[in-house]
Amino acid sequence: MASICQIGLAKFENGILSHEWKSYVDPEDYFDDINISIHGIDEITVEGAPTFPELYDTLRSYLAGTVVVCHTHFDRVAMHQAYKRYNVIAPECTWLDSAMVTRRAWTECARKGYGLYNVCKMLGYEFKHHDALEDAKAAAHIFLAASNETGLDIDNWLKRIRQPIDPTASSSGSAIKRDGNPEGALFGEVLVFTGALEIPRREAADLASTIGCQVASGVTIKTTILVVGDQDIKKLIGHEKSSKHRKAEELIVKGVPIRILKESDFKELVRFSTEFV
């Protein structure tokens, strides 16, 4: 994958294309017939083109300190393998996979059909597939469309892709439960999680258990704490509030003493509860 024969970059600022660049690359390697049949690039095409090290300063000027969007991690792997091959330092940047964004933005793409061509076809965006610059623009178009669809900006997407496709489901498909540490500061509390958490649900459950909370899977009259993901659940799953959140509020109206905390509040609660342990 270090054998790169073309690179394309499309720079976007505030959602608008501000600059684009592409170059053929002499991979200093042979060309396989199968690869040529896909992208149409051969030895004659790259004759006289710069090598990857000769493009390094240009790449660094574009990539360093930015968020770099690509569709699936293949481009990212290719770039890093090339850095390794030529013993150069990879520019420090944040990579964002637009395929992972796609799977979370559109339900119909959650399990299949999230390839670059298929998604662009779904969105009505036409481009020349397997041209590096065209592919870069297509990935950007998908990301911008997903942001428009969900209302999430780039910072929130960087968090969202670390969460499950369905943020309300546990990773194993089974309910997450824990007994509370009897030595914990909050022993006796019964805690339930809902919504999209930044940290994995099982890790959150372990933290809650450590500080003494019994972790339950559903909201009941025994629940004392409900932890809700900081992000706007409406934008993530199409409902104003989760069913657990709504049930907790109904029980609060009836007099059940349930505290509703954001995930960030919960993290601080854990930090303070373990500060002197």
Average pLDDT over residues 140-164: 92
- Of 160, 175, 205, the domain-final residue: 160
Query: What CA–CA distance (Å, rounded) separates 49 from 114?
Result: 33
Position 85 scores a pLDDT of: 93
pLDDT tens readout for residues 119-145: 999 999 999 999 999 999 999 999 999
Last residue of a domain, one of 115, 138, 160: 160
Q: What is the pLDDT of residue 34?
A: 80
| 131 and 57 share one domain | yes
Give the integer Cα–Cα distance in Å for 276 and 262.
Answer: 23
- pTM greater than the 0.85 cutoff: no
Residue 182 lies in a domain: no
Q: Which domain holds residue 19?
A: 6-160
Q: Does a structural domain hold residue 206?
A: yes
Local confidence band at 175 (pLDDT 50, 70, 90 cut-offs): low
* pLDDT of 173 higher than 60: no
Indicate whether 108 and 231 sit together in one domain.
no
Position 12, amino acid: F
Question: How does residue 46 score in pLDDT terms, banded at 50, 70 and 90?
Answer: very high
What confidence tens digit (pLDDT) does each residue in 185-198 have? 788 899 999 988 88
In a domain, 196, yes or no: yes
Length of the chain: 277
> Which tens digits make up the pLDDT trace of 239-254?
578 889 999 999 999 9
Residue written as token pair 């958490």: 197
Which are the contacts of 138, defined by CB distance < 8 A and separation ≥ 6? 71, 116, 120, 125, 127, 129
Establish if 167 belongs to a structural domain.
no
**Region 39-50 average pLDDT:** 96
Report CA-CA distances (Å) from 137 to 38, 99, 112, 155, 164. 19, 14, 22, 20, 26
Same domain, 12 and 135: yes
